[in-house]
Structure 1
Amino acid sequence: MRGFQITALLTTLTATFAYLNHRFLKLPPTVGLMLLSLLFSLLLWSSIAVGVDVVTPARQLMDRIDFDVLFLQGILSLLLFAGALFVKVEELLNVKLSIALFAVAGVLVSAGVIGGGFYLLALLLELPVRLEYALLFGAIMSPTDPVAVLPTLRRLGIPDRLNAWIAGEALFNDGIGIVLFLALHAAAVNASAPGVMSVLRTFVIQTAGGLAFGSLLGWLGFLLIKSIDNYRLEILITLALVLGGYSLALLIGVSGPLSMVVAGLFIGGRGRKLAMSEHTRMHLDQFWDLVEKYLNAILFTLIGLELLVLSNRLSLIHLCTGLLVIPVVLLGRFLSVLAVGGLVRMREPFSLKDASIMTWSGLRGAIAIALAMSLPQNEGLHILLVATYIVVLFSILVQGPTLGLLLAQTSSEGGGSHE
C-alpha cells in the first residue's frame, strides 16, 4: 500500500471516528478519537476468535508508518506553530522567567526523579532495565506535550497566570526534553557517554540556536506579510515558513520545535497586530485552526491504532510495569513542579493548589511515543515503549477529561493564587 493510500485510509478512519464521537459519544475530540481507535484495534483482535485473521495485515500496514519520523519530522512542526499562533503572547511575557524555570529546571528535576523511580521499580520487578535506560525513560516522560495540553486549556479556560505557566511550559519544554533525550540516548544506546561539556554545548547550540532561528523566521514572515494584503498569499507564506523553516532548522543543527514555537508566537503576536488586516486574521485563524484539528485527529487516531504494533510483544509483566509506573510519573511531575514553584514563589504567588493543577494538566502525548519508538527495540527498551504507551493512554483518557473537575474543586476551595 502506497503513501497516498495509507493517508486516504487514515483520513477515512479518522473522519468515521470523529463522526461517531460527535454524534453519539460527545467526548472531547482527542479522548473520543483515541478511545474509538483503541476499540477498533480490539475489534480487529476479536476477529481471530471467529477464525478471521485481519490483525496481521493491519499490523503490517501500521508497521509501514514510521511514527517517530512522521511526527518528529513532519506533523510536530505544524502543530507547534499552530499552537503558538493562538497563545496570548502578552500573558507569556508577563511570566517569562517562571516559564523558563518550569521548562528547563522542571524537565531536569522531573527526568531525574522519574528515571530513579523507574529504575527502583525495575529492580523490584527484576526487569532487564539498566540505569541509563531508566534515565532515558525519565527524559521521555518529563516534557509535557503541547499537542495534548493546549487544546485542553483552550476548552477549559484556566485562569490567566496559571494558563500562561502551563501553556508556556508545554510550548518550550518539549525542545528542552528532546535535547536531553538525545544526550542520554547516546549514553544508553550507543554506550558512548558524552562529557558534561559536550552535553552543555549540544544544549546551548540546540536551544539558543532554535530561539534565534525562530526569531529570524518570525521576523522574515512578518516583513513579507506586512508588505502585501492578500490573505491567500499570506497564509501560504506562513505554511512555507513552517515547512521550510523546520526542515532548515534540522539541517543546520538547531532545535526545530523551539524555532516553530518562537516563529508562531512572533506571527501570532506582533504579526497579527501590525502586519495583517482583520480579513487576513480571520482567514489565517480559520486555516490554522483547521490544520491543527485535522492533524490532531489523525495523530490521536494513530496513537490508538499503535496498539496493533505493540500487541505482538505485550506480556503481563509489560502491562503491570506500565500501570505501576503511572504514579511514579505523576510523583516526578509533582515534585519537579514543587521544586521550581519554590523559586517562582520568590517573584509571584504560587500555591499547593497551583502545583496540583500543573501536575494533573501535565499531559503526555505523541512526543513521548515518538521518542520511545525511535529507540531500537531490544527487550529492555521495549519495556520503555510499552510503559510510555500506557502512561500516554492514562494521560489522555483520564487526566485530560478530569482536569475540569479538579479546577472546579480548587476554585470552590478558594482557587490559590489564581487571577
Structure 2
Amino acid sequence: MELYYSFSILIVLAAIFSYINVRFLKFPSTIGIMVIAIIISIILVLLGNFTSKPLHDLAELIKNLDFTEILMGAMLNFLLFAGAIHINLADLKEQRLPIIVFSTLGVLISTFVVGFSLYYILDYLLPIINIHIEMPLIYCLLFGALISPTDPIAVISILKQANVSKSLETKIAGESLFNDGVAVVVFAILANLAADEKVVQTGHMDLSFSHIFALFLHEGVGGLILGALFGYIAAYAIKTAHDYKVSVLITLAVVMGGYLIAHSLHTSAPLAMVASGLIIGDSKRKISSNKKSNVGNFWELIDDIMNAILFLFIGLELLLIENLQDYWLMGAISIITVIIARYLSIKIPTIIIPFEEKFSKGTIAVLVWGGLRGGVSIALALSVPESHYKNVIIAATYFVVVFSIFVQGMTVGKLAKKIQ
C-alpha cells in the first residue's frame, strides 16, 4: 500500500507540473518538470520547520522513498527497453563501431579521467590554498563511473527539431542506451572494492586485467546474451500471437520478469533490456507495414510517463541533500571536470580508431555538449556504499546533473543548428 501511495503522489505531481510547464513555462517537457520540482524543493528547504503540514508531509514522503530501488530496479529497465524498441537496428548497425567504442572505451576514459583528476585536485591542489575536501581514490573513481553514462532523453527531441543528421542522432541515442549498462557494470565493480575496508584504507585495488575482465564478462556480456535470448523468444511469441494485447503483455513480461532473472543471475539488467528491446523492435518493424505499431505506441506512452516521473525525481532530490550550499565548490569542480572528461572520451577514440566516417569539430562538439547526465547518475549516487563521503558524492552528482540538463539541454539544439 505504501508503494502505491508513493507512486500515486508522484503521478499526481508529474501531471500537475507537466500542465504548468505546457501552459506557462513552455520548456521541453522533462526540463520543465525538473525546474518546477527544483523550485518546489527550494521553497520546502527555505521554509524548513515553518512549513505547513501538507508540505511537510510531501518532504517526508520524498525523503522516505527508496530512490535507488525505484530508479534502478524498475524505471531504468522500462526506460531502456522503451528507448531500444524505437531504435532502428539497421541504423544502429551502420553506426555500430562508434557506438560500441563510445559506450565502452569512452565510459572507461571518462571514469578514470574524472576519478584521477578529482583525486588530484581534492587531495593535492585544494589543500595548498587551505581548502580540505579530501576523498579516497576509490570514491573518486566511483564518482567517475556513476557520472560517466550519458542520458540524452531530454535532448533527443531537441536534436530532432534541429534536424541533425540521422547518423548523429543514432550515435547519441545508441551510445546512451549501451553506456548506461556499461557504466552500471563498472560502478558495480568499483562499489564492491569501495565496500572493502582494506581497499579504502590502503588504496590498493585489484585492478588486474583478468579480475576486471572476468567481472565485466559476467555482468556485461552475460546481460547482453540473456537479453538477446529474451528478445528472440518474445519476438517469436509476438509474431505467432497476432494479437495486440498479448504482444503488449509479452513485452511487459520481458521487462519485469527479465529484470528479476538478470538480478538473480547477477548479470546486467540494463544491458539485457537494451538487447531485448532492439531485437523485439526490429522484429515488429519487419512484420508491421505501419511505421509505428500498437506495441510501439504503447511503449512511447510508457516512455513519456516514466520520463516525467524521472525528472520529477531529479528535481525533488534537492530535499535529500543536507546543507547543499556547503558543496558549491565541489559542484563547480565536478562540472568542469566532467565536461573535460566527456571531451576526452569522445576526442581520444576519434584519434586512435580509424572510423570510416570522419568526425568534424561540429559533430564532436554536439556529441560532447549533448552528453547529458540524468537519472542513472542520480540512482547510482544514492546507492554508493554508506560512508561520510556519500553526501559529497550525492551533492556533486546533483550539481552536474542539474547543470547538464538545464544548461546543456537548453542550448544543445542551438549548437546543433549552428553546425548544420
The two structures have a TM-score, normalised by structure 2, of: 0.91
1:299 corresponds, among 291, 305, 310, to 310
1:247 lines up with 2:254 in the alignment: no
Distance 1:73 1:320 in 2: 32
Deviations 1:2-24, CA, capped at 9 Å, x for gaps: 22221111111111000000011
Q: Please name the residue that 1:30 is paired with.
A: 30
Q: Please name the residue that 2:95 is paired with.
A: 95
1:182 lines up with 2:188 in the alignment: yes
Q: Please name the residue that 2:395 is paired with.
A: 386
1:335 corresponds, among 323, 334, 344, to 344
Confirm or deny: 8 A CA contact 1:149 1:167 kept in the other structure.
no
Q: CA separation of 1:290/1:244 partners in 2, compared to 1, >3 Å: closer, same or farther?
A: same
1:136 lines up with 2:142 in the alignment: yes
- SS of alignment partner, residue 144 of structure 1: coil
Q: CA separation of 1:225/1:377 partners in 2, compared to 1, >3 Å: closer, same or farther?
A: same
My pick for the range that moved more, 219-228 or 58-67, is 58-67
Q: Please name the residue that 2:360 is paired with.
A: 351
Q: CA separation of 1:39/1:75 partners in 2, compared to 1, >3 Å: closer, same or farther?
A: same
Confirm or deny: 8 A CA contact 1:25 1:32 kept in the other structure.
yes
- SS of alignment partner, residue 379 of structure 1: coil
Distance 1:153 1:259 in 2: 27
Q: Please name the residue that 2:293 is paired with.
A: 282
Distance 2:245 2:368 in 1: 41
Q: Please name the residue that 1:416 is paired with.
A: none
2:279 corresponds, among 266, 277, 280, to 266
- Could you tell me which amino acid in structure 1 is paired with residue 91 of structure 2? E
**Ranges in structure 1 where 5+ consecutive residues have no aligned partner:** 412-419
Displacement of 1:95 in angstroms is 1.7
Distance 1:13 1:61 in 2: 13
Moved over 6 A (4+): none
1:106 lines up with 2:119 in the alignment: no
Displacement of 1:149 in angstroms is 5.1
The 5 Å alignment of 1:3-402 reads 3-48=3-48, 52=52, 56-123=56-123, 124=126, 125-145=131-151, 147-148=153-154, 150-191=156-197, 192=199, 193-196=205-208, 197-274=210-287, 276=288, 278=290, 281-310=292-321, 312-316=322-326, 318-402=327-411
Identity of aligned residues (%): 37
Displacement of 1:198 in angstroms is 2.2
Displacement of 1:381 in angstroms is 2.4
Deviations 1:98-137, CA, capped at 9 Å, x for gaps: 2111111111111111112212331314213111111111
My pick for the range that moved more, 42-51 or 109-118, is 42-51
Confirm or deny: 8 A CA contact 1:98 1:344 kept in the other structure.
no
My pick for the range that moved more, 44-53 or 6-15, is 44-53
Displacement of 1:271 in angstroms is 2.8
Confirm or deny: 8 A CA contact 1:55 1:308 kept in the other structure.
no
Distance 2:364 2:387 in 1: 37
Q: How many residues align?
A: 407
Deviations 1:265-296, CA, capped at 9 Å, x for gaps: 1111133213x4649x5321221111000011
Distance 1:344 1:23 in 2: 48
Distance 1:152 1:246 in 2: 31
Distance 1:298 1:180 in 2: 26
Distance 1:209 1:376 in 2: 24
**Ranges in structure 2 where 5+ consecutive residues have no aligned partner:** 200-204
- Could you tell me which amino acid in structure 1 is paired with residue 245 of structure 2? R
